[in-house]
A and B are shown apart, each in its own frame.
Chain A
Amino acid sequence: MVKQEQEIASRPDNTAFTQQRLPAWQPMLSAGIVIPGFVLIGLAFIGIGVALFVTSQSITVMELDYTGVERTSPCFRCSDPNVKNCVCQLDFSIASLFKGPVFFYYGLTNYFQNYRRYGVSKDDDQLSGDLDSFTSPSDTCSPYEYDSNNKPIVPCGSVANSMFNDTFKLYQIVNGTKKQVPFDGKGIAWWTDYNVKYRNPSVTPLRDAFNGTVKPLFWPRPAYELDPSDPANNGFINQDFLVWMRRAALPDFRKLYRRITEGDYAQGLPAGNYSLEIAYNYPVLSFDGRKKVVLSNVSWMGGKNEFLGIAYLVIGSLCIVMSIIMLIVYAKFKFPEEE
């Protein structure tokens, strides 16, 4: 009947949703209930913490500072900005086998690769091989967009311009002779950077693509000649360039330089004396930074990281302590449900 329809026209639906009676789980946070949770989390964290700590302990790290600000440093001579093409040599010894594979890093401190305007100063299109951007780089690259002759700089921008250019050679001193430790420079950059993000223009030979452009001001060689030893490792997909372009998050950072995975050193660096030959080019005095070389082996959790293991242990223990406190609280302030 019409009337009946009218009658119930505005009657609200009597559903669990509209009447706000949906079945609900109502967790009550009180001491008694959370004890098992705390114990469980505590135990799990302590377990993880122990695992992390043990793993971290098994990782060896060796840091060699070669900034050369101290007079005693073998690189003191090179730290003078006026000295060009300076090479210095750093000797060190390893007491026991440095288990491989060993990763060879260079490290900088107080270097703000995350500086806002520095980070913007590049041209992604150019770096992905867009030839149009070769002739007219993005204005984000300013002031490293054009040189004084108004020729476009490729790769443009501050990030590329300031690329780290010290080079290292590692020798083991075996019976007084230097035996070069072979470096593996492949695959030190991100796979996606090498294969997807950065591309050389599809021009052969590569140097033709760079006609009419100039190299970045600080660079000794143009981009297509970055690695004279390996023609495939040039241009924008040069591994060292890729590593540098991935800007470090924090002012004290290290970047992977090479891996030691080959020949006699595949199992690691045996005990003995070593000599590190450094082509000292990169100035650090302007930002009061330090340069160092880091040798490290890695585990499933990456490099050495004692903090995380300790943090897990501490928090795990804290949870256990909390569960004891909760037990006391529970005994003392039990909610009188039965009253």
Chain B
Amino acid sequence: MTWRSPLALLRDALRGQRAREKELRNLVSNLPYEGLEKGKQPNRHFPGNAIKTTKYTLLLFIPMNLFEQFHRLANIYFVGLAILNFVPVVNAFQPEVALIPICIIMALTALKDAWEDFRRYQSDRKLNNTPCLIYSRKEKQFMERRWKDVRVGDFVKVFCNEIVPADLLLLHTSDPNGVCHIETANLDGETNLKQRRAMSGLCISDPEFKPESFDSLVVCERPNNNLNHFKCYAEKPDKEKVGAGIESLLLRGCTVRNTDTAVGFVVYAGHETKSMLNNNGPRYKRSKLERKLNIDVIFCVILLFAMCLVGSLGHFVWLQKQPGVPPYLVADSNGHLDSPGLSAFYMFFTMIILLQVLIPISLYVSIELVKIGQIFFIANDIDLYDEETDSRVQCKALNITEDLGQIEYIFSDKTGTLTENKMVFRRCSIMGTEYAHKENAVRLAVLEEPEESEEDVIFNQQPRPPKTGWSLDSEDANPEETQHHHCSRRKSKVAGNAQSDVAFSSPLETEVIPDRKLLQQISRAESSSGRSGSREMDPYLEFFLALAICNTVVVSMATAQRRRMSVFSRSHQASNPPDTLPNLAKMSGSLRRFITSWQRKPKRNRIFSEDSVIEEDHFNPPVKTEGSGAISGLQTCSLHAPSQDGKPATTSDNLSYEAESPDEAALVYAAKAYGFTLMGRTPNSVTVSLPSGKELVFEVLDTLAFDSVRKRMSILVRHPITKEYVLYSKGADYAIMELLGTPYAEHLCGKQKSIAADTQRHLDCYAREGLRTLCFTKKVVSEKEYESWSVNRQRALAAMENREELTMDTAVQLETNLSLLGATGIEDRLQEGVPDTIVALREAGIQVWVLTGDKPETAVNIGYACRLLEEEDLVINMSCKNTLACTSILDCALEEVRRYSNDPRNVDTTPDISLVIDGRTLTMALSSDLQERFVDLAKHCRTVLCCRVTPLQKSRVVKVVREKLKVMTLAIGDGANDVNMIQAADIGIGISGQEGMQAVMASDFAISHFKHLKKLLLVHGHWCYTRLANMIIYFFYKNVAYVNLLFWYQFFCGFSGTAMIDYWLMIFFNLFFTSVPPIMFGIMDKDISAEMLLGVPELYRMGQGAGEYNFKTFWISMLDAFYQSLVCFFIPYIAYRDSDIDVFTFGTPLNTISLFTILLHLSIEIKAWTVVHWVIILGSVAIFFIVTLAYSGTCITCNPPSNPYWILQTQMADPMFYLICVITTVVALLPRYIFHVLRNSIAPSPLVQARHLDKLDPSTRNQWIKEWRSFRGGGQGKRSGLSTPPSPTLEMPVEILPQSPTASDITGDEFTLNVITENYQRPLHT
């Protein structure tokens, strides 16, 4: 290391600062500078890849932590008091002792912080030390280094399924097209694969990639946190510039998929990466209870000051009244006394010191401990544990547990939250004929059964294929072949199960059992078209071709599948793969391939073993099938390989589809079930294998992508046989129906005219069932037409201005005169237990809003399915196109609602009111002038469904409701689009399910199913809230009751600030003798059993609004504290009056009485006594006596002026001590006890009634709950969501969407309004 002058270092640092802050950064490769000292590195100014998320360093922990802690006002107050002790004039006895409590409390907090920081440090270290490959010029190859060694300007190589260590500019991939797939689930929660393209031409990459050849200057923008945007260009030495955007950037934290290797140039590292910039760390949320608590602390401060003022004035008056200078007044060292005024002034501060315990110093730390305990119990709840994903409920926010018990509004996402976000193909209609897929429905029903029986049942129920039927290579079909298909099908099911954590690949979605009728139809069509060799394809075949082609699904290979270890754990022991190898060697011609693939997967292959066992179970000859099973399980599916010996089905089973929308995947799987297997997709071609095993490669001429205006997508392909230009489109029914030309293939069937009508009828039927519908069309484009269109298209694509509009116009141009092929119905299944949960939440007095990006029809259907809407509900449908209309609609609706709810005739039969509103209307309704009215209307509604809302709108809705109505809100969602909403609500809940981590990261609690919300809120929320509320009230009471003893004594000691209790014992009293019981109370008390809380959700209402911790309960407990302290002081006072008792002997019974009163007070409040309660309460009493006795036994001259030596011992030998203790405790607690008894007997609150029921034996209790339910008319009988048919009566009153994109601005809204009122009154008449 050479010496460099400080000036040079400074200059360098400044230059670095400038380089970092510049708008554009210039980066060059590190390779030419490899091995040079740091000062010569061109990229030295940019941070390295090591990350540090810890708050403290080892050395600076204490000062930094103290600084942090003093941010809390309470701590400053306490330290201020401690300092006040050292001021001489206040005459504190032992100033050092006053420091002990605050020191202990701050040390505890510091310990907690240190532990948290240490955990962060550990995770940082783990991440920083993750191995990765960096290119080294010296070694001429990629060397294994660690993440923290990565620097800007390095070349990093990433393998398949590895996580990208820094933001990389992609330069090379193993894919010949330069494509690399990444999964960004860690960043934005999207599990579908995204394509990234390598920047080409910057390095020599033939035959081998050579980073040394990289000699360009990379100019990129300053780091920012936008995950979807990136700008940079590379300037070659010849000044040629190559631009690149986000499509060439591999983000840190993403996982590389489906690509063997990728090499990238590091542009941002460490904290400058986009993922780190997005990582804002946990937010500190302050719970509602805590906000109220702070107000009460201020009350306590006021009370303290008042008491001190009384003491100070009392002292003044007392001094004034002295006739002379009594011998007990002590002058200062000069022998003269302070004037009464000055003494009184000093006395004020002395009093503050004496009575400071009134402000519960340990309250904050106790609350934190209680919350940790509560979180422990929540996280350990086995009912909230999900077996499938092996995940518990995660509590990310540590300080808002009690808010769970006060929720009034829930805002829920729909897809993935209420539904599973697993799209399942349910039915289809082709050429006006409905195919109900009954077998499939049966299978789906069966799949809902518990796991164990799953497999057998399915395969027993599976219909024998018609003849050798749908085995599509039917010409030379034989029984063995059939078995092949069986086993391969089975295997793929198992395989699917093995990767159940991966989106879109559960058996539910991938497996479709073909409709028998349709199957026959297809094989007939297939054979006929084969025979005739007709150029005209059968519409049935066309339909499935459209299904398979018209999408953006990416095919991934079996070897690259993201696979987790199987949940399925049968038959590990039964097979022994090495033994089977020799057999395989004899058997299969594809052995070599098998072995290579085997080697590539060094891990023991699960699929393989599963397979062999199953086959041994059912089939013979085992050796043979085993072999083929192994092949099917392991061979890498090569997309371009010619079909294997007439076994296309086996090959295709290795395919796995990655789709941006689950619907598309479901459709592709459906097509596959009928033999139309999508084999591969490149930007320019689509390969589909037909039922006959033939593979067709369609040339893709153009893809007209989906947009929300057209509501459809199309793909223009060239048929490889007929060479026709064919446009396949799919889209929402209303977007397609109006574009229909003549029905397709009129000559084939006689009822041509009715096809559209029939299909429409089927579509309506599907929609009523809650299925998502799509229509499929085909259009043959003539060559001439295509040519001219293509020119337009190119022009549009090349346009600089209005490019999007122009391309859309060209799309619209082509999408005309379509011929309808058919329609599909896809089900997004409701999650298990959703209707039940929603009903329970509603009974708990919680308003549930659903905010979804879906269209109103779907949302309403789901609403009915999950019992958000009931059939007798009044549904207000709001949609309008301008503010004026919106205003009038709002006014009108409000008036209606008011009139409706005020109508005396409707007292009993009032159907609940629900509101359905669409995104655009919502925007207007949330504008500042309409907000009030909207919120007012929403307040009257039991349910609000907001459709077509953007993520931003979601959070806006939450914010508006939260602020305007001053209610506790909870937002629950699973995807990246819910993050805003989750963060805006008081409590954000993420569902860790299909959609990755984004929502979970932003949430306060993460659960795995929506149904868990029920127990989380109704049980844990209730418990946490009542526990904490009661504990805090108790805490205030405890301190006031104790401190007041000292206060009353002031009236008998000339307001001189004397304490009659030893100072150490006072500290111990709060710190040891009475601190654990309330904490235990706050963690473990259980007022009502979980069963009862779940059975009677109404009990939740107790916590809403003010709940148990409110103004009244606080002041009642304060008054009680005053009363008790009066009793505790004055009964001993009167008993000992005129006796020879000394100061601290008088204080001892007071202290003891206080202890018993305070603990017995808690005992009255404790609702359920477990072993722990007994141990802690009795232990506290025991500790009090042990510690006090030991202290009194040893402290002879210590701690003046108290000298507690042998005082308690003397007292305990005196029967008066016990007599006084007993009567005082009884008198102190009698009122509270009687109050509780009388209240519980005369006017029992619902909670008390529930507790009564709780004491009954379980069967009686359940009986009671059931009867009570049925009495209330709650239809708990129809629990299952799917068995409840959605209401067929609902009609969507208005077509909200503009019929054409241009017409949207001008249409009037009065129509909408009319319809709304009409719709509105409909339930009135029924």
Contact = CB atoms under 8 A, between A and B. Distances in A.
Interface of A: 1, 3-4, 6-14, 18-20, 22-32, 34, 41, 45, 48, 52, 105, 107, 111-122, 124-125, 127-128, 140, 142-143, 145, 158, 161-162, 190, 192, 196-197, 218, 246-256, 285-289, 300-303, 305, 307-308, 311-312, 315, 318, 322, 326, 329-330, 333, 335, 337
A143 B1169 contact: no
B1157 to A, nearest CB: 15
B1252 interface: yes
B888 interface: no
A45 B1225 CA distance: 13
B1251 A112 contact: no
14 contacts: A6-B565, A18-B377, A19-B380, A24-B1168, A24-B1169, A29-B1236, A115-B328, A158-B327, A190-B1206, A249-B1145, A253-B1141, A318-B1230, A329-B1238, A329-B1242
B1226 A190 contact: no
A9 to B, nearest CB: 7
Given A3-B566, A253-B1139, A286-B326, A197 B1134 contact: no
Contact of A250 (B382, B391, B1052): B1052
B1164 A23 contact: no
Contact of A301 (B382, B569, B1131, B1216): B1216
Interface string B1044-1059: 0000000011101110
Nearest to A249: B1146
B1200 interface: yes
A26 B1237 contact: no
B1241 A335 contact: yes
B1216 A120 contact: no
Determine which residue in B572, B1058, B1136, B1140 has the highest number of CB atoms from chain A within 10 A of its CB, and name it: B1140
Interface of B: 91, 93, 322-335, 350, 377, 379-382, 385, 387, 390-392, 565-567, 569, 572, 1052-1054, 1056-1058, 1060, 1084, 1086, 1090, 1131, 1133-1147, 1164, 1167-1173, 1196-1197, 1200-1201, 1203, 1205-1206, 1210, 1214-1216, 1219-1220, 1223, 1226-1227, 1230, 1233-1234, 1236-1238, 1240-1242, 1244, 1248-1249, 1251-1252, 1254-1256
Nearest to B1169: A25
A256 B1140 contact: yes
Determine which residue in B1133, B1219, B1230 has the highest number of CB atoms from chain A within 10 A of its CB, and name it: B1219
* Closest CB pairs A-B (n = 4): A286-B324, A287-B326, A249-B1146, A162-B327
Contacts of A302: 1139, 1214, 1216
Contacts of B1131: 311
B330 A117 contact: yes
Contacts of A326: 1237, 1241
Contacts of A158: 327-328, 330
Contact of A308 (B1086, B1135, B1206): B1135
A197 B1197 CA distance: 7
B202 to A, nearest CB: 43
Nearest to B1197: A124
Q: Label chain B's interface by main secondary structure.
A: loop
A114 B1057 CA distance: 10
B814 to A, nearest CB: 52
Nearest to A138: B1200
Contacts of A251: 1052-1054
B328 A23 contact: no
Given A112-B1054, A333-B1242, A142 B333 contact: yes
B1234 A3 contact: no
A198 B1170 CA distance: 49
Determine which residue in B1142, B1240, B1252 has the highest number of CB atoms from chain A within 10 A of its CB, and name it: B1142
Contacts of A289: 326
B1252 A254 contact: no
Nearest to B1172: A22
Contacts of A18: 377, 380, 382
A114 B1058 contact: yes
A7 B390 contact: yes
A116 B1058 contact: yes
A202 B1144 CA distance: 29
A211 to B, nearest CB: 24
A249 B1170 contact: no
Contacts of A116: 91, 350, 1053, 1056-1058
A329 B1139 contact: no
B1053 A112 contact: yes
B1201 A122 contact: yes
A247 B1143 contact: yes
A124 B1198 CA distance: 8
A171 B970 CA distance: 88
Contacts of B1201: 119-120, 122
Contacts of A10: 385, 390-392
Contacts of B392: 10-12
A287 B325 CA distance: 7
Given A22-B1170, A115-B329, A337-B1256, A124 B1135 contact: no
A197 B1205 contact: yes
A120 B90 CA distance: 13
Nearest to A339: B1264
Contacts of A6: 390, 565
Given A12-B380, A114-B1058, A116-B91, A161 B327 contact: yes
Given A28-B1255, A118-B329, A247-B1143, A20 B1169 contact: no
Given A287-B328, A308-B1223, 12 more contacts: A11-B387, A28-B1251, A31-B1237, A115-B1054, A197-B1197, A218-B327, A253-B1140, A253-B1141, A286-B327, A288-B323, A305-B1216, A329-B1241
A12 B392 CA distance: 8
B1086 A45 contact: no
Contacts of B1240: 28-31
Contacts of B390: 6-11
Nearest to B322: A287
A114 B1252 contact: no
A329 B1242 CA distance: 7
Nearest to B1084: A20
Contacts of A308: 1135, 1216, 1219-1220, 1223
Given A28-B1252, A249-B1136, A12 B1206 contact: no
Contacts of A22: 1170-1172
A11 B1090 contact: no
Contacts of A128: 1196-1197
Contact of B1241 (A41, A111, A113, A330): A330
B419 to A, nearest CB: 26
A112 B1168 contact: no
B1138 A7 contact: no
Nearest to A7: B390
A254 B1241 contact: no
B352 to A, nearest CB: 14
Nearest to B393: A12
Nearest to A120: B1201
Contacts of B1086: 20, 24
Contact of A311 (B350, B1203, B1223): B1223
A27 B1234 CA distance: 14
Contacts of B1249: 335
B1204 to A, nearest CB: 11
Contact of A249 (B91, B325, B1060, B1242): B1060
Nearest to B394: A10
Contact of B569 (A1, A119, A254, A329): A1
Given A30-B1241, A301-B1216, A119 B385 contact: no
B1041 to A, nearest CB: 19
A115 B382 CA distance: 61
B1200 A322 contact: no
Contacts of A249: 1052, 1060, 1136, 1141-1147
A119 B1255 contact: no
B1255 A115 contact: no
